[in-house]
Amino acid sequence: MSAPFRLATGGRIDRSKPLRFTFDGAAYTGFEGDTLASALIAGGVHLMGRSFKYHRPRGFLTAGPDEPNALVGVGASQDRYTPNLRAPVVELHDGLVAESQNRWPSLRFDAGAVNDLFSRFLPAGFYYKTFMWPKSFWKTVYEPKIRSMAGLGKAPTAPDADRYTQVYAHVDVLVVGAGPAGLAAALAAAESGRRVMLADEQPEVGGSLLHDVTATIEGRPAAAWVAETLAALEAKGVQVLTRTTAFGYYPHNMLGLLERVTDHYANPDPKLPRERLWQVRAGEVVLATGAIERPLVFPENDRPGILLADAARAYANRWAASVGKRVVIATACDSAYRTALDLKAHGIDVAVVADLRPMPIGPLVDAVRAAGIRVEAGTAVTGTRGRLRVRVAHLSRLDGRGGAHAPEPVACDALLMSGGWTPTVHLFSQSRGKLRFDEGLQAYVPSVSVEKERSAGGCNGVFDLAAVLADGYAAGESAARATRVRAPASRAFPVDGTHPVTGGHLGAVPHSRNPSAVKAFVDFQNDVTAKDLKLATREGLRSIEHVKRYTTTGMATDQGKTSNMNALGIVSEAIKAPIPQIGLTTFRAPYTPVTFGSFAGASRGDLFDPVRKTPSHSFAVEKGAPFENVGQWKRAWWYPRPGEDQHAAVRREVKAMRSSVGMFDASTLGKIEVVGPDAAAFMEMLYTNAWAKLGVGRCRYGVMLREDGFVMDDGVIGRLAADRFHVTTTTGGAPRVLNHMEDYLQTEFPHLAVWLTSITEQWAVTAVQGPKARDVIAALVEGVDLSDAALPHMSVVECRVCGVPARLFRVSFTGELGYEINVPADHGAAVWQAVYEAGQAYGITPYGTEAMHVARAEKGYIIVGQETDGTAGPDDVGLGWAIGKAKPDFVGKRALARPAMGAADRKQLVGLLTEDPATVLEEGAQIVADPVFEVPARMIGHVTSAYESPTLDRSIALAMVKGGRARMGETIYIPMPDRVIAAKVVAPVFYDQEGARLNG
């Protein structure tokens, strides 16, 4: 397709390199150097999307990252599709595929536009008012409808095919923004020989100088000066990052930078990542982020073809794209006069410049008049016409009493506006620096710094080019010297061809039309009008933070870059209060949207989280075992035989273990070695039990409490020597327990000579459980008398198993005769295999975590974190026997003596047997005393564990019930959505209550 609005000459595009692309399926051609926006404007396209709420046709407003309207989805395939990109910052490449968003069925005809006609039913805060009743409608009707009608782009449906990397960097000086101020700052900092990084979001450095075709710096055209300066910076070793947005300012001068590496290539090098996330720690920071032009808030200021004035100038000068053939300019600021002059120089018809100010003066105004362009002072645009593109602007002379005279219609195909400039203080504000409202500039500017940073140029409220360069240089110098004292610029940059700029307007433009019938947009992306803001103040909202949330102004993805100051101006006028009194909403990271991919970096798929595998992992894989995720561990859940489901497999495993022998990989248990002359004294303090008299070679079940007396962890602890304990913890609790131990050792008991070492990863554990356990391991264990007398239940011996050093524990978590063979982790797989082979004669059955859980529940063994929830004391879960009552002190002892810990109605561990033995309760289900109850029911407890017991051939459950031990034999009730289940309270040990099997 031809490009009717491409200017014949000029621009920083390469006309020898045409690029083909499509927008909504139509083919266009641009040039290398174009953005999607500039190429479409050159092609005469302004209709870019439908607005968020009213579905009004919208076009480009800006030429940069502040764009609120022209959001597009880019990508030829779903795995490389990105929604919500701002067209002015999408660089063109050959074959680019882009589409508009938020329209149905088509961009030109959009059904949602009926919202515009019914807008009087959709005032500010309408969702707080309209969709309240009936309550059930919110989830079923209102929310789905609103979500389908409103909204931005659609998330891609395929996984992201691209790669993202993350880089950490340390620099002495980071300069953010490579416009005139940033370039000058980098020059100054580079002189000092310090490590300097210069980052800019655009594809090339230069900022506003890239579209300034009249200014000269040090006698050279601005563009030439930029090129020379860049070469000088690179020669001095400055790291220059383009296409890199500093999006976040974090404490201690940590900045987040997003570098777009390949998006601008048609066929990127597959070795390159799509984006790099830089985390830069800077000694000193110079913020040179420039300023953002404000729109004027006049009725119907949102039609396609209505742009900011300096954006139109940039499109013409930088990209040789004309926004129209005949333009009207509405302004309150001198800078729009530069636009008038530059467009006229390109041969574009500038019909009129309408200036809100009663008497605009100055060299720029004179130059425009001298060029023969009509200038109307004290004149506003009070309305526009044109359905899919602006056709007519209504110009009205202001009457000086807050209204306007009858309008003069002026035909045009583009309407350019300028309400002045807002310093880009986002990063400064993120750094928690304090802003100050400058009455002269009518803008917030940086005042008091918190971090080691300084602002320079436009973001510092300095707009005259010579002053901007000097300000930047001085900022760079002070950064290099690591001082906040700004020396007077030691380098002046002689500048010509530019004029100082003054003027601006905050708030709505006066008009005499019916205020309830017109829409003058403040926040284009969230469709917030001047009327909405005034309504909010009438409804009593005073703080800008409240007005913002009520009207949603400034809450869109652009974070109000173009709208916040106008919103403040309108609220200020409405409630007759000065702007500083109304405040300013908080700026939050990110400055512009950042992809999830860059935050995730390499942490996806297999690299998302480390995987911890047990020594028997490949054995389990071979047997087709499903795995249960326990923290980062993969644990075999059950070992199915052909045709078996979970139920059948678990049932077989438990029965085999109880009747003959089973084996289980217990390597994931946390293990800590407590060593030192005071090891026993330390254990006395950290566990409730008595340890001093525990013989070497003996084990004890230990209970660990927090200082508040609640159960924190448990495990079997073996004494290997007078000064050495082998402590086991729950699988998930190991790091927490070690931290807890270190805490007390370092801070409360530093006089104890004890050393703590995590040995979880060092020892692999094969548990062999069942009546035949001794027979199985007898052939593998060297030189140990395994008889019940020599190695009774709860003992430990250091020996060799299968020829490798081992710690052999005789312990049981199943209630059967059992051993746990600890061997160095490297030998774990071999020993597991050896046990499996030795056990074949007895039909040894490997069992998984599910069978382990069932077996321990049959015996009423608790699992900390399942039966306990951080509010269970040791007595509550039946561990009162484990408290060393004669001990003078241990962690949690005094708290246990509080009256509440002994109250009769505390939740206590009980067993439950359902009346119907086939009914398995649901874990977590609440328990009531009376089957007939009113909602809300009085709950007396909850089910903590529930299984079908293969051993008892019926369902069993453990529960925490108020005063449970006094309720033995009572029937309690578990209400479920469809019925109420009755169950009898019993002791929590269902099988072998006397423990005879342990001593087999």
- For other proteins, which is the closer residue by CB, 740 or 859? 740
Q: How far is the CB of 669 from other proteins (least distance, A)?
A: 22
Q: Return the closest-CA partner of residue 317 out of 3, 12, 6.
A: 12
Residue 609 in the binding site for other proteins (CB under 8 A): no
Site residues (CB under 8 A) for other proteins, limited to 254-283:
254, 279
Q: Cis ω on the peptide bond leading into residue 936 (within 30° of 0)?
A: yes
| Contact letters for other proteins, residues 421-440 (x by CB under 8 A) | -----------x--------
For the record, the structure tokens of 983 come out as 């169950």
Residue 644 in the binding site for other proteins (CB under 8 A): no
Q: What is the DSSP letter of 6?
A: B
d(CA 948, CA 921): 9
| Contact letters for other proteins, residues 897-916 (x by CB under 8 A) | xxx-----------------
For the record, the structure tokens of 749 come out as 């008991």
Q: How far is the CB of 250 from other proteins (least distance, A)?
A: 6
Residue 605 in the binding site for other proteins (CB under 8 A): no
Residue from the set 79, 496, 743, 905 that interacts with other proteins by CB under 8 A: 743
The three-state secondary structure class of 769 is: strand
Residue 761 in the binding site for other proteins (CB under 8 A): no
- For other proteins, which is the closer residue by CB, 136 or 739? 739
Q: How far is the CB of 891 from other proteins (least distance, A)?
A: 8
Q: How far is the CB of 871 from other proteins (least distance, A)?
A: 13
Residue 746 in the binding site for other proteins (CB under 8 A): yes
Residue 252 in the binding site for other proteins (CB under 8 A): yes
The three-state secondary structure class of 271 is: coil
The DSSP line for 561-614 is TTTHHHHHHHHHHHTT--HHHH--PPP-S-SS---HHHHHTT-SGGGSS--EE-
Residue 172 in the binding site for other proteins (CB under 8 A): no
d(CA 807, CA 216): 83
- For other proteins, which is the closer residue by CB, 735 or 843? 735
| Contact letters for other proteins, residues 850-889 (x by CB under 8 A) | ---------------------------------------x
Residue 673 in the binding site for other proteins (CB under 8 A): no
- For other proteins, which is the closer residue by CB, 254 or 784? 254
Site stretch for other proteins (CB under 8 A), options 182-190, 245-253, 473-481, 676-684: 245-253
Site stretch for other proteins (CB under 8 A), options 177-185, 721-729, 741-749, 846-854: 741-749
Q: Return the closest-CA partner of residue 382 out of 394, 366, 364, 397.
A: 394
Residue 543 in the binding site for other proteins (CB under 8 A): no
Cα-based distances in Å from 464 to 215, 493, 494: 11, 12, 12
Cα-based distances in Å from 206 to 181, 212, 408, 647: 9, 10, 40, 69
Residue from the set 136, 267, 739, 787 that interacts with other proteins by CB under 8 A: 739
Pairing of β 196-199 and β 239-241: parallel
| Contact letters for other proteins, residues 441-480 (x by CB under 8 A) | ---------x------------------------------
Type of residue numbered 566: N
- For other proteins, which is the closer residue by CB, 358 or 735? 735
Residue 798 in the binding site for other proteins (CB under 8 A): no
For the record, the structure tokens of 808 come out as 């052999």
- For other proteins, which is the closer residue by CB, 123 or 590? 590
Cα-based distances in Å from 966 to 908, 914, 943: 9, 18, 17
Q: What is the DSSP letter of 321?
A: B
Q: How far is the CB of 285 from other proteins (least distance, A)?
A: 15
Q: How far is the CB of 887 from other proteins (least distance, A)?
A: 12
d(CA 808, CA 699): 11
Name the phi and psi angles at 958, rounded to 5.
-110, 145
The H or E element containing residue 180 is: helix 180-191
Q: Taking a C-beta distance cutoff of 8 angstroms, is the pair 632, 609 a contact?
A: yes
For the record, the structure tokens of 452 come out as 């080691």
Q: Taking a C-beta distance cutoff of 8 angstroms, is the pair 39, 92 a contact?
A: yes
- For other proteins, which is the closer residue by CB, 158 or 450? 450
Q: How far is the CB of 766 from other proteins (least distance, A)?
A: 31
Cα-based distances in Å from 276 to 165, 246, 597, 649: 5, 12, 10, 49
Residue 250 in the binding site for other proteins (CB under 8 A): yes
Q: How far is the CB of 280 from other proteins (least distance, A)?
A: 11
Q: How far is the CB of 54 from other proteins (least distance, A)?
A: 42
d(CA 900, CA 909): 17
Site stretch for other proteins (CB under 8 A), options 494-502, 780-788, 868-876, 894-902: 894-902
Q: How far is the CB of 898 from other proteins (least distance, A)?
A: 5
Q: How far is the CB of 758 from other proteins (least distance, A)?
A: 11
Residue from the set 894, 903, 930, 995 that interacts with other proteins by CB under 8 A: 894
Site stretch for other proteins (CB under 8 A), options 94-102, 187-195, 659-667, 892-900: 892-900
Residue 977 in the binding site for other proteins (CB under 8 A): no
For the record, the structure tokens of 662 come out as 């089973």
Interface size with other proteins, residues (CB under 8 A): 24
Residue from the set 438, 439, 742, 905 that interacts with other proteins by CB under 8 A: 742
d(CA 614, CA 10): 68
Sign of CA dihedral 806, 809, 814, 818: positive
Q: How far is the CB of 252 from other proteins (least distance, A)?
A: 5
Site residues (CB under 8 A) for other proteins, limited to 706-725:
707-708
**Where do runs of H (alpha helix) occur along 492-543?**
530-538
For the record, the structure tokens of 855 come out as 């077996």
The three-state secondary structure class of 644 is: coil
d(CA 524, CA 102): 14
Which residues are CB-contacts of 917 (< 8 A; sequence separation ≥ 6)? 953, 954, 955
- For other proteins, which is the closer residue by CB, 758 or 866? 758
Binding site residues, other proteins, CB under 8 A: 250-252, 254, 279, 432, 450, 707-708, 739, 742-743, 746-748, 750, 889, 891, 893-895, 897-899
